[in-house]
């Protein structure tokens, strides 16, 4: 069983910028362009498997995806941080909201991942204990 997680993408980044951008600002004042924001786009969220019935291979694949996600989103956050330093105060506020969203995504994935690893470990411990009980040569 896969656990569905919310997904935010680069299109959300542009939509958010469009919604929050102040229409009274001239094109020159909104110097934060789409090309700069596209370089800061968030990665797709990794697939989080159900640790209570996943095998080692699925858990390893999830670990790899989560590790890649963390590295990628940290790069996106660094990019947004640099963009905020170069932006107008209005745009910096928008970028800060996007940055906070990225941190929320990172924390959400970390929480989900850790929960599934704990479930997997408990499940494996139960299986190991039942194998010991079933072994007729175990005294």
pLDDT tens for residues 25-71?
Answer: 333 344 555 667 778 999 999 999 999 999 999 999 999 999 999 99
Supply the pLDDT for residue 122: 93
User: CA 113 to CA 62: how far, in whole Å?
Assistant: 8
- In this predicted model, what pLDDT tens digit does every residue of 20-35 receive, in sequence order? 333 333 333 445 556 6
């Amino acid at each position: 069983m896969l656990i569905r997680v919310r997904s935010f993408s680069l299109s959300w980044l542009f939509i958010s910028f469009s919604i929050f951008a102040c229409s009274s600002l001239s094109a020159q004042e909104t110097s934060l362009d789409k090309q700069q924001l596209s370089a800061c786009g968030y990665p797709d969220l990794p697939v989080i498997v159900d640790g209570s019935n996943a095998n080692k291979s699925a858990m390893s694949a999830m670990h790899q995806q989560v590790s890649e996600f963390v590295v990628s989103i940290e790069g996106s956050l660094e990019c947004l941080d640099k963009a905020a330093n170069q932006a107008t105060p209005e745009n910096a506020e928008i970028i800060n909201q996007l940055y906070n969203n990225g941190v929320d995504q990172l924390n959400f994935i970390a929480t989900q991942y850790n929960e599934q690893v704990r479930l997997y470990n408990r499940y494996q411990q139960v299986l190991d204990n039942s194998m010991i009980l079933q072994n007729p040569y175990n005294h």
